[in-house]
Amino acid sequence: MRVAVVQFSATTDVARNLAAIERLTAERALVGCDLVVLPEATMHDFGPPDLPLGQVAQDLDGPFVEKLSRLARSLSTTMVAGMFERSGDPERPFNTLVAMGPDGGLRASYRKIHLFDSFGYRESERLSPGEPAPVVLPIAGMTAGLMTCYDLRFPELGRLLTDTGADVLVVPAAWVRGEHKVEQWSTLLRARAIENTAYVAAAAQCGRTYAGHSLVADPMGLVVSELADEEGSAVVELDPKRVDQVRRTNPSLQNRRLRVVP
């Protein structure tokens, strides 16, 4: 599987964000990718803490998803991106990932389970949590499992995705800058790769608010490619044989004596 992680700084202007996505995914290096991963809140950034997100949320058949559909179809790729999806609570939408297939169809959607009520911030005051259920989808002979940003701090979700068949964990994020935050980000991504003997492909926002450092780690937790804190993309070939080899060398998934129960 050829995967690209795309890093940029989203704004609160949906049209501007779509223009940035179109520009970044038009780069020659992304031609032929099976999977393009964009950050969390790609449609519309979180903005200041007092910005109501219910007013900017869209449906899964709204204009943002429609534009992603056309882009995915034009690139013949699966494209994963973060958006705010309308929920039953008009003031608290879902923080949702959508996966658009090469045919332009909606392959999967994942509503962020763990909301960022941490480091002095309360995401749950602005957004509704999704139901705790794994979302996976087949792509180019591998299986991708979806999680978002703060989900990374909950290893049981990565394990549940792996038990559901994932050999690639896809992690769009808007990882807020702060002391030791880049170190925590990198450590957690590599830990999810090591403990699940799976690839991890993480695309993060960058800019003044967010830490950037999108990366791809292999099933041994080795960083294959990593960006700094500037806009850009990284393209990596994921090899299912590498997953098989690592899982034979380190059969920790088979050696477990405790199991995650959905």
Which residues are annotated as catalytic?
40, 112, 149
d(CA 199, CA 191): 11
Helices assigned H by DSSP within the chain: 14-25, 63-75, 155-163, 181-196, 240-249, 252-255
Closest CA relative to residue 217, chosen from 203, 232, 231: 203
What residues pair up with 109 in beta bridges, in sequence order? Answer: 98
Cα separation, 216 vs 47, in Å, equals 27
C-beta atoms surrounding 111 within 10 Å: 21
Say how far apart CA 89 and CA 71 lie, in whole Å: 30
Q: How far is the CA of 171 from the CAs of 87, 117, 253, in angstroms?
A: 22, 18, 21
Q: What is the dihedral of CA 99, 100, 103, 104, to 10 degrees?
A: 160
